[in-house]
Structure 1
């Protein structure tokens, strides 16, 4: 549309008569105050540069400290709404229809919008630069058309998509950090175990050589002492012979002297023969220690216990965006007859399944039909959780926790924690929180053993448990219709109860913080918000009595362990 200037009016006067309504530039200016440094608008009009500290919503201008002070004092602007730079705009503050001035003609207010050039313009610009344009109209009409356009809707969807993707990135980092911390703790335990194994082996070798030393000493030393004592006795006999000889030399009569010499001569021959015989038989005994060359080389050959490998692999976070669990639809993808009561179940990253059954836990394929491996247990297993990608633990009733490892489609026992436990536990920052009666007992690793370091008192007998965040956890109670959330010191956070939730059992928390609790008798799963409010009932028509529920690592699938069945769901 082209608008002609009347002949009886000046350009400036005529251009000011066109309607104006500009929000866009004001929004851009206000956004700049949040995203970076903004200078005082009032000072800029005087060709001065001062950093802005506040934004006037009514004037749509940035103000420095000095102008802010005078703006508040001025009667005309004393009731204006001033917002500190960087602060969020309250939702109850209406956007003001502020005047926006033309870039080409700073003294002119923007009055029109040229659709041909997609730009705002003052009336002078309309006459001088856009007089041949076919589509010049009011800003109000242009803004209304823009609001209804597919481009704006697409832009809004893009922004929402960016937020969803950013949440996925954050969750990916949270998950990776948790796995990293678990890997660090696992490696520390491996190093401790290796050191202990080497120490025990070296101690055994030391004991063996010390026993051998003692045996040699016991056998050889008495023999040497006997020979020494025998020689000492011969010295005494020689001393007696010398004394007898000297006495006879001085005092004996001739006949007695000759007789004594004959006797001494015989003794001398016996002694000479004995010395000759002993000199041939006597052996020099010396003991030495020949060190094993491999032991000698150990210090040079073995310079470390091992090597840490930090692998940085690509992860396509964008292909697994954060799911909006408030509106997503859960689809039953598989229903598997098991033949026993499943009271603990987890989904591994490779989509295989670990589940608890009668006095065993089984590793099954992704369809939960074929048993790949199993681990026998001393009693009935209950709660089952993975501590890392390959390591997990299961609560064994009246026995404790059995720690296991899943690798190469095999499941094997690693160690165990002797503890009173009935149903379940949670793992948090290297510690196990084990439910027993009205207490949650905290176990920490001490060398090769786990010992209880403290306990938390709660108001109910703890059933199944789920870690909610770094500061709280949820638990259910046997033969109850509620789920309870408490802080790590036992302080209550909230309690959720419903007539539609009967006999609460398994409970879990998804990666976005929503809580899920199984109703065994009501045959449903209730989804709760982070503050314990019902969001929806996931399924009110389950084909079996649910016992436990868990999500996969990506959060787009979950599985429910039931009486005689396993139900696999995907999210759409």
Structure 2
């Protein structure tokens, strides 16, 4: 196996085996690997519970298509034709390339030229035939003996229409910023004013300011990621130093405690030894005095017995007088000793504060981890001027169901409602991928994020389901049974829930705080500043054509109506306080942008390709996503 390459690695090198790609296949995140390498990786790391794997490079979760076996997944991944061509070019430049046409006939001929149209190397004979053949006479052939360093077109991979998968795309609609097949041109784009060739559109796009900005944005992203990596490296180094110091501090603390306790131990041990010596000397002295009297008593007893048996009367009388005196002396000694004798008992009473220390202090300290937000010196992300921002369609995803609620996250992913299957889905709209889903007890409608990772969804006829997003998984936090129609808004710990002729306010424990009386059945709702609400309404017998704004007590601030607002639907507000309302009618399919006081600024999205239910912006306002009837539309705002 080859060794790892440096930072300027060859695009044709697999990041798993570090060798030139063999059958390069790519994931939806566009990272490419050898077919064999990625299949081995898939087999080892496939998560049955989640139904997919994480990309080895970017860690993005890739869901397995349901109709493909795990052991065959890599064979069904798209081939990276650009890299196939690059590998061919590299081999051609190095003189290792053989004629492709001859190779198909199991013949071996060195390459002489390169056909830019066919992306194939040709020998001299095939080069001559290629030039003479009418079908290939206009192809661009490059002599390999000449300078081969200039850029040349790579492999021409066919691109097929999303609406008609069997047809190749052949035109570009500038009105809708999308490629299309000729069937789409005749059916869906016949009224469009600016439909042209894909080649012209690509050439114009390559020269556009947006492409330059895109390239610069990628450079900025790379620089920011490098700064973030540097920050993590420095942070880890600081953390390791902190851990090292912490361990040293703990050792110092316990050494100080140990030294102090050892000193206390030495002192009390010394005192015990002193007491032991004094008391032992005292008791031994008393014992000696008493023991010495025993022979005297024994001697007196012996004299008494001898005199009793053998002494003459006079001598006996005299001896008894002496023995009486001696007995009296001994009795006085025993009496004094008995009266003054003390039973000695030695005890140790520990210092109460020391005992309390052992009871109260159950730990020597606390290890705290503090986190502060990383603020780069020069952020690449700035809030967009929403008054001048021009939306550009970047993604159109056919869902097959109506999207009545949608929330755009700052990482580009969306949480949307699936009314067909009673669930919400976490999706990456750029790749049409469902990352995870959460089943609900009823039909899902309005969705709002209450923090970066937590949100709630309206379940019609049931209430709210609170959820959080962890590692691309949606999990339930808890459920709140409330009166609700279609939508809610969250503000300062309170849920403002749209109901029939009222907006009911609940706290985080699902306790009703108050009702705000209004004159309509509330449909979609958003917050206007801190002291007012905007909402649309619905009627069982007709469409509602207005946007209503009310104070927190229900009194009217204004009502917005317009000739091109025939079925007011989803509402939202951007970071600048501008209000947006969707027109779900067949007649208009647009989104109105209003000022804070309800004046029309512009119809910012017009003639949408599908009827819009709801709209959401990211924090900076540079991305917008619109949930429609069967479609999700993603826009860049610049």
In the superposition, the TM-score normalised over structure 2's length comes to 0.41
In the superposition, the TM-score normalised over structure 1's length comes to 0.46
